[in-house]
Amino acid sequence: MTGYTDEAFAKALDKVEELLADLYGIETVAEEIRRYAHSPDGAGDEAFKTTTHINLPAQQPFTVYPSLPVADRDYQTWADDAFEVGRLKAAATSAWLKHVAGHYYLVDAEALTTSAQHQSKELHALGVEVDDMVAEVSSTLAVRWEGDAKEQFFEWFPMANTVVLALLFYADTAQLVAGAAGAAIRATQDALMSRAEEAVKSLEAAVAAWRDDYDVFPFPPGSGMKFKEIGIAISEAMDEYTSQVPGGEVIANQLTKKSLKQFPVARYVTTGYQIVTTLEVNDKDPETPTTADNLRTAIEGEIRDIAREGDLALAKLDDAIAEHARAVASDPLLVLARLPRTPEGTYDPT
């Protein structure tokens, strides 16, 4: 799998739209030809129909050979128009899929995690510094201050220290959640990237099936044998038969022979039959591919599901930090009593 980047994801989704447009276009042309061939206008005497070549303007164009009324219309222009109608069904698919994955597209998950790790390191350093300052202040006051204010301060100071520690703990937890969010976003992005690449492969296979089984067009791939190839083989074999058919005089002479196997034409008949039989056995038609509508629905649904799972993971992290925030906001320790404005006692700075 390609590692997730916004550029790679966008490129994959653009490819999805491009292939989906081809598949919709091919299906629309096939549907129009089938409908026309069975309509009163197009279902005339077979003698007035002919094999018509039509170029399908996919990203990799290919030619099909449906049977249509002779010189009934400009079939290529008709097919081009139908293909364009199909192509329009795929328009904006890429933009829509980016919208579905909106919380994870154009989001730098690595930067979020790296920043959280940096902030957490800074907070830990600050916590150590605060602990050192507390120890220093406590030691200084114990030695240099005398009087009632000293006792009041020693009662107040642990409460103040608890406030600082609570806020530092909350800040550290917030960074942990931010880093976890970055990890969740990255995991979601990787899943989206994988699904987008699988979608490209599925669509490529579906379009390739129509191209590979062009002989049965306008019917879906896998719906019949490759009659064109078999027909060519039969035609070539018949040409060979014709060249070997003996004249009447030769036949009369051969009637005195004891074995039919000595007739020269028998060998060619047997050979021709083997050719056709081998083609039928070896002919491997592709399976009928999933339709463009079904593929599109599946792709959109799965990308939506992946994004939803990512949202649920982020919601859990949001709940976790919200719980800490409520605890900090409601903790009575955050409401400190005021120290006396005129402390009683003396302080010796020496």
Domain boundaries of the chain, sorted by first residue: 6-224+285-339, 225-284
Q: By percentage, how much of the chain surpasses pLDDT 70?
A: 77
CA distances from 124 to 81, 130, 252 (A): 67, 10, 111
Q: What would the mean pLDDT of 299-323 be, rounded to a whole number?
A: 93
Residues 6+ apart with CB under 8 A from 184: 310, 313, 314, 317
Per-residue pLDDT of 252-262, as tens digits, reads: 555 455 444 45
What's the rounded Cα separation, in Å, for the pair 286 and 87? Answer: 23
**Mean pLDDT computed over 314-330:** 86
Q: Which two tokens stand for residue 62?
A: 């290919």
Cα dihedral across residues 176, 178, 182, 183: positive or negative: positive
For Cα atoms 327, 332, 333, give the angle at the middle one, nearest 5 degrees.
95
Which region among 239-243, 260-264, 343-347 has the lowest average model confidence (pLDDT)? 260-264
**Using an 8 Å Cβ cutoff, are 33 and 68 in contact?**
yes
Residue 94: strand, helix, or coil: helix
Taking the C-alpha atoms of residue 232 and residue 135, their distance in angstroms, rounded to an integer, is 98
CB of 254 closer than 8 Å to CB of 262: yes
pTM above 0.75, yes or no: no
Q: How far apart are CA 184 and CA 313, in angstroms?
A: 7
Q: What is the pLDDT of residues 116-172, one digit of tens each?
A: 888 888 887 777 777 778 777 777 777 777 777 777 777 777 777 788 888 888 888
DSSP 308: H
Higher pLDDT: 324 or 8? It is 8
Place of tokens 């005195």: 256
Higher pLDDT, 77 or 151: 77
How far apart are alpha carbons 2 and 153 in whole angstroms? 62
Confidence of residue 265 (pLDDT cuts 50, 70, 90): very low
Stretch 64-91: mean pLDDT, rounded?
Answer: 91
**What's the mean pLDDT in 57-80?**
90
Question: pLDDT digits over 181-233, tens only?
Answer: 999 999 999 999 999 999 999 999 999 999 999 989 999 998 764 444 444 45
Torsions phi, psi of 298, nearest 5?
Answer: -65, -45
147 or 87, which is more confident? Answer: 87
Q: What is the mean pLDDT of the chain?
A: 80
